[in-house]
């Protein structure tokens, strides 16, 4: 993990990083058009002159994420790295930090000189980008890992930016934890293992408590959806209940995250290509767990109860069948003809329990729920559903500001009839209508009097990246952690 220091003057000049920005004075879009930022600490005159000369020779434009290394074998610093910061907002600095992580991956230490007018969001964006883009997950010693271990950030007043640095570091570390959980192969990651990881994180953190329900308790209390989905596996289901209760909190939020640690599709088995990445089917659970741990580390003044229904959807003589009727927590029943639509069954139990027993002010669930999410919105954007305009708007704003992407989707009344069943209260997996929409409508039936204070986020597509891009690395993205922490920080 990278170590950061805020300093007023550089103490090491092995690799010096200077920010550049677009030159707005030129009208020629094809001409090199970058300027060296006005710095809070000025390097030696010859270093500044070389940097400015390099802008033209290298045809740099100052776009966010642009990077150029210049070697100075007989000079100090020995390496000069120019990093584009675009328009200088938080997103641009996050992109710049990610580019720096890759451009300087072979260096052990770099010193970044910030502009004289750098604000908190510039510092936090830089730190988040560096920490997220330098993330690696491997179960072998083979392969290259970044050598970069230390970053000094030169600012005019280090103390003024210390909180921003802490927030960015905790946010990125929480996101990295969610990535770790999601990337872990399912040969290791069964429901018990996941619950143990959360419990281990809680052990030394004041203000946090965790309860883990095992199969016998789930049966005694009526969590029928969770038991049905987990019944086909030798690794029994669990329900993790994680709580953060600061004494000053006036708002209680319940977060629910889907935790299917592997999904074969059950008896409605998936084709092999669709099954290969199903270790990621608990990314919603990972996101809400990591966000809660992050909220505690930030000491956010909001009460959070996080529910993670964990199950492995497997084939066996004990697996639930297409056509089975499931009795959920609280008594509602659902008929399913597709055992590969299992996520909504475990979420329904958790939502019903939250409404009946926890009395939250707000209810939010995250789930890698449907392939229809990517059909509708592509690979980077989650689908957000809510009947509450203010709540939906606040979450969308937080997600965007945090560098993630979501789009609000409708809950059309004419789709509700598709949920009708001849055998049960609800039909869990209609074949009519948009799959992500009908899944959301099914979950809404379990929100009771919290229906107008509930948000569902289908984040199947953005939970995984096929290739590295900006602050994302190939594999699990930790989607949702940053947006949730940004949103939770606005509550009191």
Active site residues: 270, 344
Give CA–CA dist 442/436, Å, rounded: 10
- Other CB atoms closer than 10 Å to residue 44's CB: what's the count? 12
| Buried-state track 292-306, b at ≥16 Cβ within 10 A, e below 16 | bbbbbbbebbbbbbb
Give CA–CA dist 284/258, Å, rounded: 5
Find out whether 433 and 418 touch, Cβ atoms under 8 Å: yes
Q: Which tokens is 404 given?
A: 């993630």
- Other CB atoms closer than 10 Å to residue 423's CB: what's the count? 11
Token look-up 């990972």 returns 286
Cis? peptide before 381, omega within 30° of 0: no
Residues 6+ apart with CB under 8 A from 336: 320, 322, 323, 324, 326, 345, 427, 428, 429
Give the torsion through C-alpha atoms of 337, 340, 344, 346, to 10 deg. Answer: 110
Find out whether 292 and 255 touch, Cβ atoms under 8 Å: yes
- Other CB atoms closer than 10 Å to residue 4's CB: what's the count? 19
């Amino acid at each position: 993990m990278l170590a950061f220091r805020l300093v007023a003057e550089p103490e090491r000049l092995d690799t010096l990083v200077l920010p550049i920005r677009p030159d707005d004075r030129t009208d020629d879009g094809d001409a090199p058009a970058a300027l060296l930022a006005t710095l809070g600490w000025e390097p030696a005159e010859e270093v500044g002159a070389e940097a400015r000369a390099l802008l033209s020779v290298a045809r740099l434009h100052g776009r966010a994420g642009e990077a150029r290394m210049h070697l100075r074998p007989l000079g100090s610093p020995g390496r000069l790295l120019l990093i584009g910061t675009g328009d200088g907002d938080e997103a641009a600095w996050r992109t710049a930090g990610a580019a720096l992580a890759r451009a300087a991956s072979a260096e052990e230490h770099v010193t970044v000189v910030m502009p004289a007018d750098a604000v908190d969001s510039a510092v936090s964006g830089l730190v988040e980008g560096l920490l997220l883009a330098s993330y690696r997950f491997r179960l072998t010693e083979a392969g290259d890992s970044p050598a970069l271990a230390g970053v000094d950030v030169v600012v005019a007043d280090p103390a003024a930016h210390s909180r921003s640095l802490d927030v960015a570091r905790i946010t990125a570390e929480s996101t990295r934890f969610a990535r770790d959980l999601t990337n872990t192969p399912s040969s290791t990651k069964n429901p018990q293992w996941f619950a143990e990881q959360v419990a281990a994180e809680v052990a030394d953190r004041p203000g946090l408590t965790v309860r883990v329900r095992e199969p016998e308790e789930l049966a005694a209390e009526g969590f029928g959806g969770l038991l049905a989905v987990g019944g086909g596996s030798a690794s029994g289901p669990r329900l993790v209940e994680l709580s953060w209760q600061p004494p000053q909190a006036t708002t209680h939020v319940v977060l629910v995250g889907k935790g299917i640690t592997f999904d074969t599709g059950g008896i409605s088995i998936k084709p092999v290509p669709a099954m290969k990445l199903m270790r990621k089917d608990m990314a919603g659970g990972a996101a809400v767990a990591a966000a809660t741990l992050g909220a505690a580390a930030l000491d956010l003044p909001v009460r959070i109860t996080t529910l993670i229904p964990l199950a492995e959807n497997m084939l066996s003589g004990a697996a639930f069948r297409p056509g089975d009727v499931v009795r959920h927590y609280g008594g509602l029943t659902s008929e399913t003809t597709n055992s590969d639509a299992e996520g909504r069954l475990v979420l329904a139990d958790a939502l019903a329990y939250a409404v009946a027993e926890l009395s939250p002010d707000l209810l939010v669930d995250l789930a890698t729920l449907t392939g229809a999410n990517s059909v509708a919105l592509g690979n980077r954007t989650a689908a957000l559903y809510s009947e509450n305009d203010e709540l939906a708007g606040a979450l969308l704003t937080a997600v965007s500001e945090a560098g993630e992407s979501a789009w609000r989707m409708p809950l059309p009344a004419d789709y509700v009839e598709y949920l009708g069943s001849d055998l049960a209260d609800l039909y869990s997996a209609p074949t009519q209508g948009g799959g992500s929409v009908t899944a959301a409508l099914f979950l809404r039936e379990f929100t009771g009097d919290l229906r107008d204070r509930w948000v569902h986020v289908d984040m199947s597509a953005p939970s995984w990246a096929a290739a590295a891009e900006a602050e994302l690395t190939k594999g699990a993205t930790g989607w949702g952690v940053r947006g949730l922490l940004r949103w939770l920080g606005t509550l009191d």
